[in-house]
Structures are given as C-alpha cells and as structure tokens.
C-alpha cells in the first residue's frame, strides 16, 4: 500500500503553502504546525514531511524549534528538508528530533560531500530531487542546474541510496494532479529505491492511481489544507494498512 506522508511547510514558525515554489505566492494557514501534526497522528499517519522554507532560502535550518516541538510531542517519524548544506546542519536536524534529513542542493552541487553523508548516515539521508522543466533545481528552487533527475540519482545509486523525494515544481501547490508517467518510469527504472511522489496531488483518486502504478510513498500538502483530502480520508486509508 502506498504510504501517505502529509507535508507541513514552515515560514517563521507558521504553516504555509507556496504555488510552484514561489515565495511571493504563499498562503498562510491558521493551524499551528503542532496542531496539524497531532491531527495527522490521530488519523493514523506514521511519517511526516517537514519543510523549512526559511532554511531553504537562507541555506541553514531556521525552524529547528518547531522540529523539536513536533518530535517531542508526537511519535511519528519526521523527514526534514530545508537548509541542510553542511554536516553540522545535518547533525543539528537529527539532534532536534528528525528521523530523516532531506538533502537536495548539496547532492547536486557537491556530490562528493553528499556521498560522504550517505555512506556515513545510511538510510537516514534522503535525496531531494526538485525538478523544473526536466532539470534539477537547487537553493530553495531559486536556481536551476543542467542535471536531469536520472543523472542525479545515478550519481548515488551505488552508494546505498534508498529514498528519493522527487518534487515536480511546476505542479507543486497547483492541485492539478501529479506527473504520473514521470513517477511510474522512475520507480520502474530504480526498483531498489523508493521514489516518493511530491507535487500536484489534488484528491484521493490521484493517490489511488499512483498506487496502481507501483509507487510506494506520496507527499500530500495543499490538498489537505484546502479540504480536497480530509482527515477522514486519511484515516480510512491508514486503516487499510
């Protein structure tokens, strides 16, 4: 069964969602990160996706107090992304309670450093591959590289890489459905690696189709905040497992 991983994106300690990664097109939600996390846990969620958008922009984790609070008040696994550019930053994320650290920009710009972390920390390190127009984007989606996602994954496939979160920036926050063919092809090509779908989920039917295509993990954000996927939907899905 495909695992639903709700996303909580944070700016200045508050829940937000961006459209297509544009910081100028953000929507702030009333619920606190802790309130959202506890609601997800009550619905049966076991893994949470936290994104420090301030950290991504300033190249260093900026909302670790939120991470500490959520790790201390819930029993869920937490995967954390945003601002992990140094080994000290990665350790600070783990020390603050994250189960997994998501590294994207370092992997694309300093592959040898990312390889060291992958070998040293093992499956606790997740490759974040954010793509726009077929190319990997870095530094909070503010800069594009010439790497394709396949080229990026191939750099580390032999080094124990176990999980790749692939975000299609063009669809992120747009509620138009994910790039089904992209994710199907990636998962079929990299069977030993979990390809986590991120970007564009609009309803439960999208998740059901991804499961039929063989995907194993999916991140859901705006569809929950906008009421297109309800806590009851998540609870029913969790009970299937």
We report the CATH number of the domain holding residue 134 as 3.20.20.70
Angle value at C-alpha 120, between 47 and 76, nearest 5 degrees: 15
pLDDT band for 27, please (50, 70, 90 cuts). Answer: confident
Per-residue confidence (pLDDT) for residue 140, from 0 to 100: 67
Out of 52, 54, 130, 233, the active site residue is 130
Q: What is the pLDDT of residue 174?
A: 77
Q: By C-alpha distance, which of 35, 18, 36 is closest to 27?
A: 18
130 is known as an active-site residue: yes
Q: Which residue has the higher pLDDT, 22 or 144?
A: 144
State the average pLDDT over residues 212-240: 95
Q: Which of 9, 54, 172, 206 is catalytic?
A: 9
10 Å CB burial of residue 177 (0-12, 13-18, 19+) is middle
Q: Report pLDDT for 26.
A: 77
CA–CA gap between residue 124 and residue 189 (Å, rounded) = 22
∠ CA 154-155-158, rounded to 5° = 75
Number of structural domains, the chain?
1
What is the average pLDDT across 200-221? 97
- Tell me if residue 22 is catalytic: no
% of the chain beyond a pLDDT of 90: 83
Mean pLDDT along residues 23-49: 91
Q: What is the pLDDT of residue 142?
A: 74
Q: Write the CA distances from 184 to 40, 179, 223, integer angstroms.
A: 27, 9, 21
What integer is the mean pLDDT of 132-137?
92
Q: By residue range, what is the domain housing residue 11?
A: 3-240
Instruction: Answer yes or no: is pLDDT of 121 > 70.
Output: yes
57 compared with 121, residue with greater pLDDT: 121
Can you tell me the mean pLDDT for 57-84? 96
Residues 6+ apart with CB under 8 A from 191: none
CA distances (Å), origin 111, targets 58, 115, 117, 147, 183: 20, 6, 10, 12, 23
Q: Is the pLDDT of residue 24 over 90?
A: no
């Amino acid at each position: 069964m495909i695992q639903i991983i709700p996303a909580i994106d944070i700016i200045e300690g508050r829940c937000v969602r961006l459209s297509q990664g544009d910081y100028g097109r953000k929507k702030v939600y009333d619920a606190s990160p802790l309130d959202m996390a506890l609601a997800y846990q009550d619905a049966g969620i076991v893994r949470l996706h936290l994104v420090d958008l301030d950290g991504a922009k300033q190249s260093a984790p900026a909302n670790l107090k939120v991470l500490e609070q959520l790790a201390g008040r819930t029993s869920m696994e937490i995967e954390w992304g945003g601002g992990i550019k140094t080994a000290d930053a990665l350790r600070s994320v783990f020390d603050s309670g994250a189960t997994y650290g998501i590294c994207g920009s370092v992997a694309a710009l300093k592959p040898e450093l990312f390889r060291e972390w992958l070998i040293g920390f093992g499956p606790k390190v997740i490759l974040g591959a954010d793509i726009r127009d077929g190319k990997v984007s870095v530094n909070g989606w503010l800069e594009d590289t010439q790497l394709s996602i396949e080229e990026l994954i191939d750099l580390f496939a032999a080094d124990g890489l176990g999980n790749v979160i692939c975000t299609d920036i063009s669809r992120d926050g747009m509620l138009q459905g994910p790039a089904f063919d992209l994710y199907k092809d990636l998962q079929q090509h990299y069977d030993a690696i979990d390809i986590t779908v991120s970007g564009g989920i609009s309803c439960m039917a999208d998740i059901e189709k991804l499961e039929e295509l063989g995907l194993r993990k999916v991140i859901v954000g705006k569809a929950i905040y906008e009421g297109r996927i309800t806590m009851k939907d998540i609870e029913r899905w969790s009970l299937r497992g």
